[in-house]
Amino acid sequence: MQHVVSQLITKKEELLGELKFHKTKVQQLEEVINGIDISISVFDPEFDLKKIKPKRYTGNKHYFKHGESFTMILDTLRKAKAPLTTHEITIELMKKKKLDYENKELVSNIQRSLSGTLKKQADNKTIQKIGEDSYNGFQWVISA
């Protein structure tokens, strides 16, 4: 019982630290935005700042270096003994990159990113789409 309480306390400490970090980050962003508003007003005092709408935030996370996913996909398909689905390729690459492949949101984001690379490789006839699994996506093999 004491072990469970200890783990819960540790988790709460982590979350409080993360919350404090994000509150500080929000405060810093608001200060920068305020500075930008002031700068806009200096250059164009008549500009209506309410016209500026937020863009969708994507996180700007780059899990692969330029061309790295292309190479990793080919290596993974070469070593596979059978066709692999988009989902299976994603999980294999995440394991190689030591990413949390149990995080469904992260898997989904990376799979979406890899889908573009897979499509480009298929367009270039480097790999071939041979079927579709309704849950895991298309099946892929190296082109003959």
Q: For residues 72 and 46, state if they share a domain.
A: no
Same domain, 41 and 72: no
Residue 59 has pLDDT above 70, yes or no: no
Please name every residue paired with 140 in a beta bridge, in sequence order, or none if there are none.
84, 129
- In DSSP terms, which residues pair with 131 in a beta bridge? 139
Residues 46 and 79 in one domain: no
The three-class DSSP label of residue 47 is coil
In a domain, 59, yes or no: no
Q: What are the pLDDT digits (tens) for 16-35?
A: 999 999 999 999 999 999 99
The answer to whether 72 touches 93, Cβ cutoff 8 Å, is yes
Answer whether residue 58 is part of any domain: no
Helix boundaries (H) for 44-144: 68-79, 86-96, 104-123
* Token representation of residue 87: 């989902």
Name the strand (E) or helix (H) holding 141. strand 137-142
Whether residues 77 and 44 fall in one domain: no
Q: Are residues 44 and 80 in the same domain?
A: no
Give me the pLDDT at residue 137, please: 73
Query: Is 95 within the bounds of a domain?
Result: yes
- Alpha carbons 31 and 65: distance in angstroms, whole number: 32
Range of the domain at 92: 68-142
Q: What is the pTM of this model?
A: 0.58
pLDDT given for residue 132 in this prediction = 75
How many domains, the chain?
2
